């Protein structure tokens, strides 16, 4: 009788250990530090919101010292604006700013609890980053991507060469923030095929700590937001190129007819026409559905370097 009893007690102990070891992943309150890869507008926005709302130290990684300097200058500008409008006090601004730590070394993420990658939509770049993160981050760390179109399952698969080893891939998830991050409340949470429920739950709860409203999407091309938004923008561009309406009429009817804050062409400029084109290409290639064919005009404008607000010229001049 002793052996079955010992086995039963051992099984109970193992269950308790598994339950305890999973608490970091299940409980977003246990996320004490964050890493953000990419010091651009999205990455810096995520880092700043985390410092302000969750009040956790944030390590911002970028390969460019100039990008890091520009990103922190942008954070200073946003904080100063909030102080000037009495949204926060100067002490609160100083506390948030002190939590932002720039670095050019990925190895500085070796002790963080949660990482969010926010680099350009280049699949190989993201795959390489996640392969490296799987090696250097703690075994409990959530590995999140801000991708707007690339398969989470493919990104998760890049963490190992052995598909049976899910120790890292089960911790990969997407936290797709809306732009601009400090203003927009929405965050899209996407699980890959390998993503564990613990990882998904932690990602949802951590984003709520950042004051965001979460929506959960399946891992399909474009997910929820871009599956709906990008064809809308693309169709507006097609209407322009085929002469259905001019720029101002297209944007005016959507602003005044559907009560959106900006029309589709102006919105495309703010998102970046290169980003819009990239997402449409992914939708078209992944689904094979002709309704996602990118507008010819959109491709030409990207070829011309007219990328929207960030280049000074798009459908509008800036």
Active site residue 188: yes
Active site residue 148: yes
Question: Which of 149, 151, 176, 217 is the catalytic position?
Answer: 176
| Burial category of 256 from C-beta neighbours within 10 Å (exposed 0-12, middle 13-18, buried 19 and up) | exposed
Can you give the pLDDT at residue 70?
96
Which H or E run contains 96? helix 90-98
Annotation: binding site: 38-43, 62, 121, 126, 148, 179, 310
Active site residue 286: no
Question: Which of 148, 149, 169, 191 is the catalytic position?
Answer: 148
Can you give the pLDDT at residue 27?
64
- Whether the ω angle into residue 180 lies within 30 degrees of 0, i.e. cis, is yes
Helix, strand and coil content of the chain, in percent to the nearest 5, comes to 55, 15, 30
Can you give the pLDDT at residue 314?
98
Question: What is the β-pairing status of strands 213-217 and 100-103?
Answer: unpaired
- The token duo for 295 is 């507008």
Can you give the pLDDT at residue 148?
86
CA distances from 52 to 72, 88, 145 (A): 14, 10, 21
Active site residue 132: no
Can you give the pLDDT at residue 1?
43
DSSP per-residue letters across 206-225: HHHHTT-EEEEE-SSTTTTH
| pLDDT per position as a tens digit, 173-232 | 999 999 899 999 999 999 999 999 999 999 999 999 999 999 999 999 999 999 999 999
Q: What is the mean pLDDT of each run of 10 residues along the chain (318 residues)?
A: 45 40 53 97 96 97 97 96 97 98 98 96 95 97 94 96 92 95 96 97 97 96 94 98 98 97 97 92 92 98 97 97
Annotation: binding site for NAD(+): 38-43, 62, 121, 126, 148, 179, 310
């Amino acid at each position: 009788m002793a052996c079955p009893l010992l086995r039963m007690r051992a099984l109970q102990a193992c269950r308790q250990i598994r339950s305890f070891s999973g608490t970091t992943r299940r409980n977003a309150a246990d996320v004490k530090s964050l890493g953000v890869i990419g010091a651009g507008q999205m990455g810096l926005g995520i880092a700043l919101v985390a410092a302000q709302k969750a009040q956790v130290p944030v390590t911002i990684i970028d390969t460019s010292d100039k990008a890091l300097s520009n990103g922190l200058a942008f954070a200073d500008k946003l904080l100063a604006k909030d102080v000037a409008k009495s949204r926060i006090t100067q002490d609160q601004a100083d506390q948030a700013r002190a939590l932002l730590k720039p670095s050019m070394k990925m190895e500085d993420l070796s002790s963080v609890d949660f990482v969010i990658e926010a680099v350009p939509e280049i699949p190989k770049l993201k795959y390489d980053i996640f392969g490296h993160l799987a090696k250097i981050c703690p075994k409990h760390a959530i590995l999140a991507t801000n991708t707007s179109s690339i398969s989470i399952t493919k990104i998760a698969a890049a963490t190992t060469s052995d598909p049976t080893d899910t120790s890292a891939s089960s911790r990969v998830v997407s936290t797709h923030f809306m732009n601009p991050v400090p203003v927009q409340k929405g965050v899209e949470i996407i699980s890959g095929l390998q993503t564990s429920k613990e990882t998904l739950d932690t990602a949802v709860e951590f984003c709520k700590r950042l004051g965001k409203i979460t929506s959960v999407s399946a891992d399909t091309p474009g997910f929820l937001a871009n599956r709906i938004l990008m064809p809308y923008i693309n169709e507006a561009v097609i209407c322009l190129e085929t002469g259905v309406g001019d720029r101002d009429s297209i944007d005016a009817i959507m602003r005044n007819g559907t009560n959106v804050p900006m029309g589709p062409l102006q919105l495309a400029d703010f998102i970046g026409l290169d980003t819009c084109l990239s997402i449409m290409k992914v939708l078209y290639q992944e689904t094979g559905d002709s309704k996602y064919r990118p507008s010819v005009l959109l491709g030409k404008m990207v070829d011309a370097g007219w990328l929207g607000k960030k280049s000074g010229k798009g459908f509008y001049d800036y």
